[in-house]
Structure 1
Amino acid sequence: MPYSQTQLDDLAQGYTAAWNSKVPEQVAAFHAPSSSIVINRGEPSSGHSGLTEMAAGFHADVPDLHLVCDGVRGAGAHVLYMWTFTGHHADTGNPLKVSGWEEWELDSSMKITSSLGWFDAEDYERQAAG
């Protein structure tokens, strides 16, 4: 199903706000019940409990995480959500600025049914270590 750019912008704005709320359940609420995310070809986080745990992990690592949507593009039910987050690593206190994207599949109610997330993990580790 094709979505308008306005619909995609609204979805991206809400998803960004969910991450910035620091409430992991709000992030999971953008996903369909059986949705999953795979980050950098890692193990999938599946279902609302897995997605909540994944978001909580990011917030634990970067307690002051602030996410910005750099852009959103769609092709039918396929969506590219580009982002940058800033914050400080919980263990080292070092500043972080990391960019990446998610590739979403959406259902007819605009819930994410699957997501592939990508960012430069080596750069993240370098920044965290200082």
Structure 2
Amino acid sequence: MKTKFSSVTMIAIILAMITGCKSGNTEYDKMVQFGQKYTDAWNSKQPETMASFYADDGMLTVNNGKPAVGRRQLAETAQSYMEAFPDIELTMDSLTVGNGTYRYYWTFKGTNTGPGGTGNKVDFSGFEEWTMNDQGLVQKSIGTYDAEYYQRQLEGNK
């Protein structure tokens, strides 16, 4: 017996086979939702909310700098960006899966009008590479962005 499929159905089947997707409830889909909620937490301007996405002893290192370890230090790190850029607007660009990790790609926009700010706008992108714990929280995040480009924007020299 032959079965007929529409071209749209065939395309959906082929895409599901290629990507390994199951209808909307895969681990990847859950991580995309996690990433969007993490983005929302940054935009909430509540540093403790951002830190809640990390394990109690979670760690964030940005551009090989000093790591923020634990939720208190993570919240302090978030607070420093939120104060420096009161109009912070973070967007999630994409999320990819690596060898036991996820890469959360983002774009950060804001005006440096916080205490001691330059008044200049920044618009830069980067990513965080996440290692998750068994509770589904970030255990380790290694963040990267072009610090020279960011600094030029802060100084008004795009």
Alignment TM-score, normalising by the size of structure 2: 0.78
- Alpha-carbon displacement from aligned partner over 1:78-107 (angstroms, at most 9, x marks no partner): 110000011101211111101000000001
Deviation, structure 1 residue 119: 0.7
C-alpha contact 1:8 1:74 (8 A) present in aligned 2: no
- Structure 1 window deviating more from structure 2 (56-65 vs 74-83): it is 74-83
Does structure 1 residue 109 correspond to structure 2 residue 132? no
Does structure 1 residue 8 correspond to structure 2 residue 34? no
C-alpha contact 1:8 1:73 (8 A) present in aligned 2: no
Does structure 1 residue 19 correspond to structure 2 residue 45? no
Alignment TM-score, normalising by the size of structure 1: 0.94
Deviation, structure 1 residue 108: 2.0
**Structure 2 stretches lacking a partner, 5+ long:** 1-25
- Alpha-carbon displacement from aligned partner over 1:13-47 (angstroms, at most 9, x marks no partner): 10000000000000000000010111000001000
Give the AA of the match of 1:96: V
C-alpha contact 1:15 1:30 (8 A) present in aligned 2: yes
Question: Residue 64 of structure 1 aligns to a residue in which SS?
Answer: coil
Give the AA of the match of 2:90: L
Find the counterpart in structure 2 of residue 51 from structure 1: 74
**Structure 1 stretches lacking a partner, 5+ long:** none
Does structure 1 residue 33 correspond to structure 2 residue 56? yes
Alignment of 1:50-129 (within 5 A): 50-75=73-98, 77-90=100-113, 91-129=117-155
User: What is the root-mean-square deviation in Å for CA atoms of aligned residues?
Assistant: 1.2
Give the Cα–Cα distance (whole angstroms) in 2 for the partners of residues 56 and 71 of structure 1. Answer: 24
Deviation, structure 1 residue 110: 1.2
Structure number with the bigger relative contact order (C-alpha 8 A, sep ≥ 6) is 1
% of aligned pairs identical?
A: 36
Q: Which has the larger radius of gyration?
A: 2
Give the AA of the match of 2:119: G
Give the Cα–Cα distance (whole angstroms) in 1 for the partners of residues 91 and 150 of structure 2. Answer: 17
C-alpha contact 1:77 1:107 (8 A) present in aligned 2: no
- Alpha-carbon displacement from aligned partner over 1:45-77 (angstroms, at most 9, x marks no partner): 000100000000111221111000000112464
Q: Which 4+ stretches in 1 moved above 4 angstroms? A: none
| Structure 1 or 2: more strand by fraction | 1
